[in-house]
Each structure stands twice: as C-alpha cells, then as structure tokens.
Structure 1
Amino acid sequence: MGIKILISPSRYVQGPGALKFLGEQIKHLGEKAFVIGGKTAISQTQEIIKKSLEDQNISFKFETFRGECCDSEINRLKEIAVSEKCDVVISVGGGKVIDTGKAISALLKLPIVIVPTIAATDAPCSALSVIYTEDGVFDRYFILAKNPDLVLLDTEIIAKAPARFLVSGMGDALATWFEANSCYQSASKNIPGGYSTVTALKLARLCYELLIEYGEQAKIAVEKGVVTPAVEKIIEANTLLSGIGFESSGLAAAHSVHDGFTILEETHKVYHGEKVAFGTLVHLVLEDHPWAEIKEVLDFCVKVGLPVTLSQIGVENPTPEKIMEVAKKTCEPGMMIHNMPFPVTPEMVYNAIFAADALGTKYLNEISK
C-alpha cells in the first residue's frame, strides 16, 4: 500500500455577511491585495471589500477579469500584480476567475484568497486550475503546490445569485462520490499523488447524501434570494465537501466526459456543473450501476433542474461522428477517465453517451405523461 494524502484549504469561512470580515481574516497574509473579479462580482462586492481591507490598513488594487482562464489572461493579470507590488491575491467571483487567481498566486508564490460569489463549482478549495484555450476549449490541468490560504463564502451574496448557479454547483458535486469511489476501487492516485484517506472518501459520500436530502429545498430558497439551513448545507456540499472529496479521492469518467464535450462549441453556453451532471449519468452507465442508483440520480437532476439528455447540454444534433470525437477527446492520454476500475476505450464512451441520453429521454417522457 502506498501513502495516503488529504489536502484542503488552510481556512474555510462561511456564513451570512462573512465578506465584512475579509480584512480581519487576511491581515496576516499580506499588506497589499491584488483583487480580481468579473464586472458583476466586483460591482456586488467592491465597497464591502474596500471597507474591510481599509479597516485593517491593507491597501489594494482592483482589476477586472476578462472572462477566460487561459494563458494570455493569466499572464496579463500576473504582470499587473507584479507592477503594483501586491503581496496577496484575492479572486472574487466564479470558477474561471478563481482558477485564474490560483494560477497567478502559484506563479508568483503569493498567498491566495478565494471569495466565491456563486457556488457553481468545487473550484474554490482546490490546488488545481483548469486551463482553457482563449476559445474556451479544455487545454490542461495546472496542479498547484498548495491549496488556497483562505476560502470565504458570504452566503447572503451567493443566495441572491441566479438559482442556476447553485444548481450547477450541485451538478459538479453530484459526480464527487461516484468518481471518488471509482478511484478507490481502482486504487488510482488522487490529485496530490497519493491514495485516498477514509476521511476523504466519507466526505465525498456525505456530499452526495446532502445533495439528495437538501438540494431541492436549497434551490427553492435561493429562487427567493434567501439563506436557510438547507442553503448553507448545499453551499458547503458544493464547495468544501466536493472540493476535498474530488481532490483527495480523485476524478474519473464524469469530469472527463465534461472535458470531452468542450470540443463542441454548442455546449459552451452550458455551465461546467451542468455538463458534469450529464457526465455523471455516462459514468454510471459505463460502470454498470444498478437501475435504482441511476434512477435516484435522474430523480435528483430533474427535481433541481440539471440536464439528463444531450439536447439539454446543447447537443441538438448528436451525429455519430460528433459523439465519437467527444469520446476520443474524453479518452486522450492523461485524462482522468483512465482512473476507472477497468480500461476504457472511445467506443465504450461513445456507447455510454448515447445510452445515458436514451435513459434520460425515456425518463423525461415517462414523468411528463
């Protein structure tokens, strides 16, 4: 048996109004903050962040993120951080700006603080950045030396975001348990290069159980813009439990299928977690899960509004040629699908994609009668 490794953020802070405490939480990390975020995220948070930092005598430089976690944007922002002599990076917003900030901090060897304004992915807690091309096609994983120094989630801000973001986060988190268990069965190494601890595996399972129990309640609450105990649980499941679960137990088919679909431009308008949800169904088919387990996932997806068919992820014309290209991308060397407990070929993925689509279509037809 090899060594087991569990990694996690140094500090995790979550709750209503948490952003007001940002300065207090980072005062030991640096004296000048480089704050990056998209236009919406910055407009929502800038005044609160400014006051919180000023109260702790921390200076700052705000810069708008241009929307894609790609090499050119990482390098552009990195140069600004250097020229401004910043000594701590703060990423505010969703998954792509979070991954960009993490990459900048790794390249400059600076502390990184993550302030999600949505709970749409498990990116905030991880020591991993997903790098895309400028056109939004998956390029590579950038494995980082350490996890974020602080992850701070203001649940009041997250609850006021469109419910689709929280639901997308549930789709990303939905894969966590199934991929973690596949990696455990195959004795595959996790993201930091060790084997899963029992703790990480149990956190991945807890993530799934919270989604099934509280997902629909949480969606209904955030549609009204309010924070409830169910919303708090789902934000934690989407962010902390899924983050530790995937990273310290491993990824497998579901996320690789997502990465495969990024070659189809028609899927780019669909969120990461939405594609991962469909990838989870493909994963279950590929691994020959019992119908009861597949149906539980279908029930959950439909209740919260996650896609279960190809057309729902934007693929209206799934020609055999197109899906085979997705399957080939999914199975490229180095892709996480090779962590499955058996060898996987493009032909197997091709078959599983069409089978998952057929199951989802049949399920939707049945419940609409």
Structure 2
Amino acid sequence: MIFAVGGGRAIDTGKTVSAKLEKPIFTFPTIASNCAPTSAVCVLYNDDHESAGSYRLHAPAVHSFADSSIIAEAPEQYIWAGIGDAISKEVEVSFSAEGRELAYNNTIGVHIVQGANQRVLKNGLAALEAAKAHQESPAIDNILFEILGTTSYTSVLVDHDYNGHFAHSFYYGVTVLPQGERHLHGEIVSYGVLIVLQLAKKYDELKEIRDFMISVGLPTSLKALEIESDEDLKTVLDKAFTLDYIQTLPFEINRQMVEDAIQEVEKLNQ
C-alpha cells in the first residue's frame, strides 16, 4: 500500500503512483489547500511548475486521515487557498450541467454540491481567523467538510465533463507564467470563479462571492495575481483554451466573450 502525506501535489503524485502500481492509497493531508486527499482526480505538473494536465483514478483513496488539529497548526494561507478552491465547485459544476439531461451519477453529483458556497461563506472568515491563531475551531471543521467532503463527493460522482470549468482552466493558464509559482491553486481558481459567474450573468451571486473574497483577502483583480500586462494575459488564455474543461457549455463561449468577462470583473475594482 502507499501512504501519501503532505499537500495537494505530494498527495496527487502518490495517488497517480498508486494507480500505476495498482496498490491501495491512503492519504494524510497536513494542509487543506484543495480536495486532493479525497478526490479521484490528480493534477500533475512539469518540473518547471507548468500544469501537465490531470489523471483520473477509478476511485478515491481507500481512506483519508484528515486531522483538523494538524490543519489548524499549518500556515493559514493553505486553508485560505482551500476556501478559494472550495467555492469553485458549486459554480463550475452548476454552470457545466446547466440545461442538460444528466445521467444519474451526474445528477447526484450536481445536487450534492448545491448550498456548499453558502456554508463556505458562513464559516470561511471564522475558520481563517482560527487558522491564523493556530487554534482548533468548529468553523475549521465545517470548512474541512466542504474542502475535503462535499466538493470531493461531487468530483468523484460526476463525469470529467462536469467536474470543472473556466475557473480551473484559468488556473492552468497561470501556471505557464513565472509568477504562477508564487500563488496557490485555490487562490488563482477563486479569481476564475468570478469570470465564470460573469459569463453566466449571475451578477447577484458574483457580488456575494466577491464581497466574501474581499473579506478574506482572496484576489479579485489580475494585479493581485501579478498579471499586469496584455502579453501575460494572452499567455494565460492561450493555455486555458487548450483545456477540455471549457468544452461542456450551456451556450457557446468564445475567447472574446471570456476577455470581455475578465474586463467586466476588472471594472468592479474601480
């Protein structure tokens, strides 16, 4: 058997190796920056930190030993990033599945994640404050249920087509830039959530989530991610549009629409 201990990249590496060697995998997350410990999806990277795509297991880990006291003792930026990653699942899955006749597993996956963001918004700030003090808290427990529980249940149940959308494509695009290495997965994904909500024209939800992001310090501008030139943004979008996440759509979306959505999100910072 294989024990994968650490953060998302270490755990996803262990998960992939376990699949290749056909051995059972047990995960021991020391941080809660994403759903890797309980998800069947493995995000892989090249040595230069650029995204190398993903690998999907037939099943998630046999068991994940997630100790909230260890999570509370970790640097707070990791649960902060986990909050950013968690808010993407309900938004992306709902957008991808909108207006479609879904198979049963996809229907259940979509239903499970509904309401997750309201729970994240309710507990997020208190969880982050407890993490900064390195104190165990019911808020941290509740956030862990969303980061490692709800989002992963959905991820395991739905087909790949419904498991993400442009928020994650945007993240993969940012990994091409040198500054992408300086920002955490969930931190970047959270900005991508705003793009998806703008594309979906869900303006009330966009405002609610954006206000929450401001309250916890998640990025609401390209500048916060050190993307300040048109050339950098072009590089990000070039990579993002190679990802198959954006092929499952409730309506046709082209690059110009995405660029326009980003501009509208940026205008909110004025």
TM bracket, shorter-chain basis: over 0.9
1:286-297 to 2 correspondences below 5 Å: 286-290=199-203, 292-297=204-209
- 1:318 equivalent among 211, 229, 233: 229
1:146-165 to 2 correspondences below 5 Å: 146-165=59-78
SS in 2 for 1:307: coil
Q: 2:166 aligned with 1:257, yes or no?
A: no
Larger Rg: 1
Q: 2:139 aligned with 1:227, yes or no?
A: no
What is the distance in 2 between the residues matched to 1:352 and 1:207? Answer: 24
What is the distance in 1 between the residues matched to 2:133 and 2:144? Answer: 16
Shift in CA distance, 148/188, structure 1 to aligned 2, threshold 3 Å: farther
- In the alignment, is the contact (CA less than 8 A) between 1:126 and 1:147 conserved in 2? yes
Q: 2:261 aligned with 1:348, yes or no?
A: no
* Structure 1 residue 341 displacement after superposition: 1.1
* Structure 1 residue 194 displacement after superposition: 7.4
Partner of 1:107: 20
SS in 1 for 2:66: strand
* Structure 1 residue 209 displacement after superposition: 1.8
* Structure 1 residue 296 displacement after superposition: 0.5
RMSD: 1.8
What is the distance in 2 between the residues matched to 1:256 and 1:349? Answer: 12
SS in 1 for 2:182: coil
- In the alignment, is the contact (CA less than 8 A) between 2:60 and 2:156 conserved in 1? no
TM-score, length-scaled by structure 1: 0.69
* Structure 1 residue 353 displacement after superposition: 2.2
What is the distance in 1 between the residues matched to 2:101 and 2:30? Answer: 33
SS in 2 for 1:306: coil
Structure 1 runs not aligned, ≥5 long:
1-87, 363-369
Aligned length: 266
Partner of 1:123: 36
- In the alignment, is the contact (CA less than 8 A) between 1:186 and 1:339 conserved in 2? no
What is the distance in 1 between the residues matched to 2:198 and 2:157? Answer: 24
What is the distance in 2 between the residues matched to 1:305 and 1:188? Answer: 38
Superposed CA deviations along residues 295-341 of structure 1, whole A, max 9, x for unmatched, are: 101111011121111111122x221x332232222122x52012221
Structure 2 runs not aligned, ≥5 long:
none
SS in 1 for 2:220: coil
Shift in CA distance, 188/154, structure 1 to aligned 2, threshold 3 Å: farther
* Identity between Structure 1 and Structure 2 (%): 30
* Structure 1 residue 195 displacement after superposition: 4.9
